[in-house]
RNA sequence: GGCCCCGUCGUCUAGCGGUCAGGAUCCAUGGUUUUCAUCCAUGUCACAGGAGUUCAAUUCUCCUCGGGGUCACCA
């Protein structure tokens, strides 16, 4: 069974890059009827917060990414890590190192001065004397000093590292006894049964260290897929200044989970020429072997396009429901269908759609100057009056086509083109030149509001 | 700096020795529309550079250049 995981460290919000690796992991598990586990890497007590964990969970919930099983918190697993540290100590695969921080940094400085690679010098690797007084030991693992370590990566291929280039006896437990990242990752992934690791390629150079831990403990090494980073428009690492970092901000901006997930799945991954993927299609088609090798640049043009695509194709019922999050209650509006049909093709986001709707529903309090200039000709007031007569003489209409007929009648009777009536009427009803079809607008507004707006315009422009 | 990864239209990408280098987005133009938007059609735009290998390189190899990542008692 395929078991994947997402393992964020709760130092901040869930951002777009983290979300994408989470999505990939989730999809790959689902595709294989496997499990997608969640582990919170909160061993650094100083930098972690419960709020950040909650934010991540909240984002997952919004997007419908459900994890399987219980959430694992590393902060609650100290005894587990301690027992493995003891095991390595007992087996002679790890040892206590009494080098002080001062001595260590001195060592580094001389190495840097000599233009050498900074590495621990193995001073206590085979130490057997009496430990120095007053120093708490760290635990270091005995790493191979030479040889080749190959990371078999499903995205990058086989990546080989020379032990002497990258390894030294790295610390697996700090002076206070707490374990370090590369150590606990290997243990937790093993204990959780994770066999497919999909993560950012910033972890690629850590992987050899983790392999050393796997081997020291006799664990099976999982399959790795290191997915390339998402960069900002300058080609640099994504930062807070590159728009919304927190995934939940995308909700505030009016994007739907469908659009955001579709956008992200196509960033670094593709399936032929297909652009639109439902969640079910993603689960069916995603395969990490098709992940691109190169970094991609974050750019919202396509997100906007996808967003408008989904909004156009959502049912009015679903839209009305979604819109409640954007301060717009439409559920009881009797012209909901006409309203949404008329406006959903005009918005890139739900937020925009809500604003567009509110605009149509609000009686104009002013008229766009250039629109008035363009629309109001010498006979416009007469035309509006004629149309107004028609409307008030009619019974309450409900269909756009009814209003359309009325407009046609006026145009025919006065022997004028459609534009002669459409333009001033548009300004009267909406206050500007652009907007949805007037017949729909009038059907939405109803007889009395339509008459009110026409009367207002006649008064203002006579 | 050492080590590692990467390099096809502005952007997201297809390509896996022989293609008019394809799609999408963006942009532009035209059509539809009483307006705007939608929609449809058309168009502009790319293999970082240089050596090899080969009958043939975007594709394989090497070098250069460019970009990124990583080198902790952070994760």
Task: Report the pLDDT averaged over residues A333-344.
Answer: 94
Between CA A80 and C1' B60 the distance (Å) reads: 49
Where is A137: in which H helix or E strand? none
Report chain A's C-alpha Rg in angstroms.
32
Stated length of chain A: 462
For residue A241, what pLDDT is reported? 67
For residue A117, what pLDDT is reported? 85
Q: Are A167 and A209 in contact (CB under 8 A)?
A: yes
Provide the token pair at A152.
């078999």
Does the CB of A416 sit below 7 A from strand B?
Answer: no
Task: Report the pLDDT averaged over residues A83-106.
Answer: 94
Does the CB of A102 sit below 7 A from strand B?
Answer: no
Does the CB of A424 sit below 7 A from strand B?
Answer: no
> Average model confidence (pLDDT) for chain A?
93
Q: With a threshold of 0.90, does the pTM exceed it?
A: yes
Between CA A381 and C1' B12 the distance (Å) reads: 52
Between CA A97 and C1' B50 the distance (Å) reads: 51
Q: Which nucleotide is nearest to A304 (CA to C1')?
A: B25
Q: Which nucleotide is nearest to A374 (CA to C1')?
A: B35
Does the CB of A189 sit below 7 A from strand B?
Answer: no
Between CA A91 and C1' B42 the distance (Å) reads: 73
Dump pLDDT digits (tens) for A318-336: 999 999 999 999 878 889 9
CATH 1.10.10.350 fits domain A369-461: yes
For residues A45 and A329, the model is more confident at A329
Superfamily of domain A77-227: HUPs (3.40.50.620)
Q: Catalytic residues of A, which ones?
A: 240
Lowest mean pLDDT among A24-33, A89-98, A102-111, A343-352: A102-111
For residues A361 and A397, the model is more confident at A361
Residue A141 — φ and ψ, nearest 5°?
-90, 145
For residue A128, what pLDDT is reported? 86
For residue A244, what pLDDT is reported? 57
Residue A243 predicted with pLDDT over 80: no
- Residue range(s) in chain A whose domain bears CATH number 1.10.10.350: 369-461
pLDDT grade, residue A163 (50/70/90)?
very high
What is the biggest distance separating any 2 CA atoms in chain A, rounded to whole angstroms? 111
Residue A427 predicted with pLDDT over 80: yes
pLDDT grade, residue A46 (50/70/90)?
confident
Lowest mean pLDDT among A58-67, A75-84, A122-131: A122-131
pLDDT grade, residue A48 (50/70/90)?
confident
Beta bridge partner(s), residue A296: A230
| Residue numbers in A 312-341, CB below 7 Å of strand B | 312
Residue A56 predicted with pLDDT over 70: yes
Burial A189-225 (b: 16+ CB within 10 A, else e): bbebebbbbbbebebbeebbbbbbbbebbebebbebb
Chain B, protein-covered positions (CB within 7 A): 1-8, 10-14, 22-26, 33-39, 67-75
- Residue range(s) in chain A whose domain bears CATH number 3.40.50.620: 3-70+230-297, 77-227
May I ask the CATH class of domain A3-70+230-297?
alpha beta
Dump pLDDT digits (tens) for A1-43: 999 999 999 988 899 999 999 999 999 999 999 999 999 998 8
Does the CB of A439 sit below 7 A from strand B?
Answer: yes
Contacts 24+ apart (CB under 8 A), A385-393: A385/A458, A386/A410, A386/A413, A386/A414, A387/A421, A387/A425, A387/A454, A388/A451, A388/A454, A388/A455, A388/A458, A391/A442, A391/A447, A391/A450, A391/A451, A391/A454, A392/A447, A392/A451
Question: For residue A214, which of A124, A84, A79, A97 has the smallest C-alpha distance?
Answer: A84
ipTM of the complex model: 0.96
Between CA A201 and C1' B57 the distance (Å) reads: 30
For residue A342, what pLDDT is reported? 96
Q: Which residue is nearest to nucleotide B14 (CA to C1')?
A: A272
Does the CB of A299 sit below 7 A from strand B?
Answer: yes
Q: Give the span between the Cα atoms of A7 and A23, in whole angstroms.
A: 12
């Amino acid at each position: 069974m395929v078991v994947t995981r997402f393992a964020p460290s709760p130092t901040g919000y869930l951002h777009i890059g983290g979300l994408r690796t989470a999505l990939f992991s989730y999809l790959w598990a689902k595709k294989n009827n496997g499990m997608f586990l969640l582990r919170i890497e909160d061993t650094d007590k100083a930098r972690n917060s419960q709020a950040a964990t909650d934010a991540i969970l909240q984002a997952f919930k919004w997007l419908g990414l459900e994890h399987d099983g219980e959430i694992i918190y590393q902060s609650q697993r100290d005894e587990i890590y301690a027992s493995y540290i003891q095991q390595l100590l007992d087996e002679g695969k790890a040892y206590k190192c009494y080098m002080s921080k001062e001595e260590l940094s001195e060592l580094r400085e001389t190495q840097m001065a000599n233009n050498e690679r900074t590495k621990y010098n193995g001073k206590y690797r085979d130490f057997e004397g009496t430990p120095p007084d007053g120093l708490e030991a760290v635990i270091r693992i005995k790493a191979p000093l030479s040889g080749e370590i190959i990371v078999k990566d499903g995205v990058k291929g086989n990546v080989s590292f020379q032990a002497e280039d990258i390894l030294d006896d790295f610390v697996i437990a700090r002076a206070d006894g707490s374990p370090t990242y590369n150590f606990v990752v290997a243990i937790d992934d093993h204990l959780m049964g994770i066999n497919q690791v999909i993560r950012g390629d910033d972890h690629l150079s850590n992987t050899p260290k983790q392999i050393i831990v796997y081997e020291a403990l006799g664990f099976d090494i999982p399959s790795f897929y290191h997915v390339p980073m998402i960069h900002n428009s300058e080609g640099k690492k994504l930062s807070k200044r590159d728009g919304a970092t927190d995934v939940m901000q995308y909700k505030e901006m009016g994007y739907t989970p469908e659009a955001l997930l579709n956008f992200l799945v196509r960033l670094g991954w593709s399936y032929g020429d297909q652009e639109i993927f439902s969640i079910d299609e993603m689960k069916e088609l995603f395969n990490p072997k098709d992940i691109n090798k190169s970094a991609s640049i974050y750019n919202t043009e396509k997100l906007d396009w996808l967003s408008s695509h989904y909004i156009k194709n959502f049912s009015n019922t679903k839209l009305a429901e979604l819109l409640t999050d954007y301060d717009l209650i439409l559920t009881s509006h009797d012209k909901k269908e006409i309203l949404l049909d008329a406006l959903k093709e005009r918005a890139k986001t739900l937020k925009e759609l809500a604003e567009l709707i509110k605009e149509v529903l609000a009686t104009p309090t002013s008229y766009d100057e250039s629109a008035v200039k363009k629309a109001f000709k010498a006979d416009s007031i007469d035309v509006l009056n004629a149309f107004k007569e028609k409307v008030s003489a009619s019974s309450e209409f409900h269909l756009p086509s009814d209003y359309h007929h009325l407009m046609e009648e006026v145009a025919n009777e006065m022997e004028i083109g459609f534009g002669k009536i459409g333009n001033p009427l548009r300004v009267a009803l909406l206050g500007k030149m652009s907007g949805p079809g007037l017949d729909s607008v009038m059907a939405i507004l109803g007889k009395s509001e339509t008459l009110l707006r026409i009367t207002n315009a006649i008064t203002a422009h006579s």
